[in-house]
Chain A
Amino acid sequence: MSRWEEFKRQITESQVWQSIFRHGYDDTPRNRVLMVSGNVWLHLHPSKVRRHAVRLRFTWCMGGITFLMFLVTVVTGIYLMFYYRPTAEYAYADMKYLEFDMPFGMLMRNMHRWAAHGMVIAVWLHMFRVFLTGSYKPPREFNWVVGVILLVLTLLLSFTGYLLPWDQLSIWAVTVGSNMGAATPLLGHQGPFHEFFGVNPIYDARAFLFGGGEIGSHTLLRFYILHCIFIPLVASLFMAVHFWRIRRDGFSGPPL
């Protein structure tokens, strides 16, 4: 045994190494199972999948791409959070700072924005594929419902992020969207039957979303918290349920 192999043996046999890596890389059927079941990043997969479910033409990878886009927005979003202050006074200046002064600042912002758009499109195509292959059929009915909730959360994530650059596009696009709150029946001051609850412009569904009657610094902070903490947290919980159920019900095809 050469010195190199002796050295390698000592490392891989040490208690530290074996406490982290529980199996080797040899290509045996059992090790293939262990690769998945013994790995925290892969264990949401079943250890075996149907042959046809792996084919690219079957899934178009769209669910995976959606999740990948989510991960990209998380990583780039945290980078952006280091350089961004969610107040009307600084937000726009911080965008310019990111754009011109920060290393990779513009690239991170671009990737964050385009990945968010990509995520919306990938969610739609994923739903389209799931519909075409009837993958929502028993026993996966409830997972489709969870998926619809994730669709709504994806749109809300994108929508709340829209306000943060605090440019003309931001505040007016969000104004258009949030006016729906004012138009809500019963709960919005411009909606039908609003007299019933006596809501007014500073105390109705839109004001709840805005944190006040008009769009302003309070809105920016509210959307920032929603965008960076609340919705990602809720979305992650639903994603865990979504993935777990796919794993339990098997990747596509009739019930096990």
Chain B
Amino acid sequence: MAEPAKVLEPRRVEVPLRKATGPGDDKIHTWPHLVRSEFLCALVVLLVLIVWSLLVDAPLEEPANPTRTPNPSKAPWYFLGLQEMLVFFDPWHAGVVLPTLIIVGLMVIPYIDINPKGNGYYTFRERKIEILTFFFGFHLLWVSLIIIGTFMRGPGWNWFWPWEPWDPHKVEAMTNVDLPFLFGIRGYWTGAAFGAAVILGYFVLGTLAMYAAIVRTKGREFMERWGMPRFLTTAFFFLNMLAVLIKMLLRHAFNVKYILVTPWLNV
């Protein structure tokens, strides 16, 4: 066969190849190496998607009827973690404040994490705390709440195990109390003051405890390098994340409904 490349020679634009920088330079050409994997990956995924779409139909229920509310009424599955949190928090907190905190909290991750290790490779040993925190937030708080919301919640948003039939007449005892009440505080304003003190105390003591723990394990030099703004941001988001779990445990263990009760908002 003739050489077709030679024919095209005059139209070619000279692109200088980057010089290899030594033995550390392990780069390979995008074409064909990366493009080939991308193409094969796309083929496999498309094949799976088409077969799946042939076998499983997308749901379509009865026509919309604003006068007939289904029970339970569920949001799309990827929001069921938020809907599950409605059990533990008021809508403004579960639906607005917490999602905002999740989004902003995710955004600040690269700015509060100053560990230079683990950049571009898998490692658990060099980033234990970072990875465990992400596991806690992503798997424990987000994915498991979605699984609970999808499979364990039936009529009245009551808990049903997968093998239990959904009984719409299931009666749940309403034994919930507020935290001040649990401690024998009956007054309206004394209760609010107590709740506010508990929340404020949680954040102040939590921040101090985190500070002490980090100075102890990582040293004062690390804390200075990390800087106060980074530390306070981390502490704020971490304590908020932990507080969601604490509130859930308080409800399941002690039927605590609210910690802070005021005429304007309840937490």
B31 neighbours in A (Cβ, 8 Å): 32-33, 35-36, 42, 47
**Interface hits, A167-216 → B, CB 8 Å:** 167-173, 175-177, 179-180, 182-185, 188, 190-193, 214-216
Is B173 part of the contact surface with A, judged by Cβ < 8 Å? no
Binds A, one of B62-70, B159-167, B176-184, B198-206: B62-70
Contact yes or no, B75 A215, CB < 8 A: no
A191 to B91, CA, bound (A): 8
A185 to B91, CA, bound (A): 10
- Shortest CB distance B96–A (Å): 5
Contact yes or no, A159 B79, CB < 8 A: yes
A68 to B40, CA, bound (A): 12
Contact yes or no, B53 A144, CB < 8 A: no
A179 to B91, CA, bound (A): 8
Q: CB-nearest residue of chain A relative to B73? A: A172
- Shortest CB distance A59–B (Å): 9
New A-B pairs, 20, CB < 8 Å, besides A48-B28, A110-B52, A137-B120: A13-B7, A24-B5, A30-B17, A32-B32, A34-B12, A48-B27, A51-B27, A61-B41, A114-B49, A127-B106, A134-B121, A141-B110, A144-B109, A168-B61, A171-B66, A183-B96, A185-B92, A185-B96, A192-B92, A253-B119
Contact yes or no, B49 A115, CB < 8 A: yes
A54 to B59, CA, bound (A): 37
A46 to B35, CA, bound (A): 11
Known contacts A68-B42, A168-B70, A192-B264: A37-B15 contact under CB 8 Å: yes
Q: How many residues of A contact B (CB 8 A)?
A: 111
- Shortest CB distance B99–A (Å): 8
Write out, one digit per residue, whether chain A residues 107-118 have a CB within 8 A of any chain B CB (1) or not (0). 101111111001
Q: How many A-B residue pairs have CB under 8 A?
A: 272
Write out, one digit per residue, whether chain A residues 9-41 have a CB within 8 A of any chain B CB (1) or not (0). 100110000100011111011111111111000
Max chain B Cβ within 10 angstroms of own Cβ: one of A127, A136, A192: A192
Q: CB-nearest residue of chain B relative to A176? A: B75
Q: Within the complex, which residue of A13, A69, A176, A191 is in contact with B92, where a contact is CB–CB below 8 Å? A: A191
Known contacts A12-B8, A68-B42, A166-B63: A114-B28 contact under CB 8 Å: no
A216 neighbours in B (Cβ, 8 Å): 66
**Residues of A in contact with B (beta carbons under 8 Å apart):** 1, 5, 8-9, 12-13, 18, 22-26, 28-38, 42, 45-54, 56, 58, 61, 64-65, 68-69, 72, 88, 92, 95-96, 99, 106-107, 109-115, 118, 120, 124, 127-128, 131-138, 140-142, 144-145, 148, 151-152, 155, 158-159, 162, 165-173, 175-177, 179-180, 182-185, 188, 190-193, 214-216, 251-254
Contact yes or no, A26 B7, CB < 8 A: no
Known contacts A65-B41, A111-B49, A173-B74: A191-B96 contact under CB 8 Å: yes
A65 to B96, CA, bound (A): 30
Contact yes or no, B62 A167, CB < 8 A: yes
Contact yes or no, B29 A48, CB < 8 A: yes
- Shortest CB distance A108–B (Å): 9
Top-6 shortest CB links A-B? A180-B95, A183-B91, A253-B120, A141-B110, A110-B53, A113-B58
A188 neighbours in B (Cβ, 8 Å): 92, 96
Contact yes or no, B118 A175, CB < 8 A: no
Contact yes or no, A18 B11, CB < 8 A: yes
B73 neighbours in A (Cβ, 8 Å): 172-173, 175-176
A158 neighbours in B (Cβ, 8 Å): 76, 78
Contact yes or no, A134 B127, CB < 8 A: yes
A136 neighbours in B (Cβ, 8 Å): 109-110, 113
Q: Within the complex, which residue of B29, B52, B64, B265 is in contact with A114, where a contact is CB–CB below 8 Å? A: B52
Known contacts A88-B64, A107-B54, A155-B78: A134-B118 contact under CB 8 Å: yes
A142 to B3, CA, bound (A): 47
B76 neighbours in A (Cβ, 8 Å): 158-159, 162, 173, 177
A172 to B37, CA, bound (A): 42
Contact yes or no, B8 A50, CB < 8 A: no
Known contacts A109-B58, A183-B96, A191-B92: A61-B119 contact under CB 8 Å: no
Is B217 part of the contact surface with A, judged by Cβ < 8 Å? no
B27 neighbours in A (Cβ, 8 Å): 48-51
Contact yes or no, B49 A148, CB < 8 A: no
Q: CB-nearest residue of chain B relative to A111? A: B53
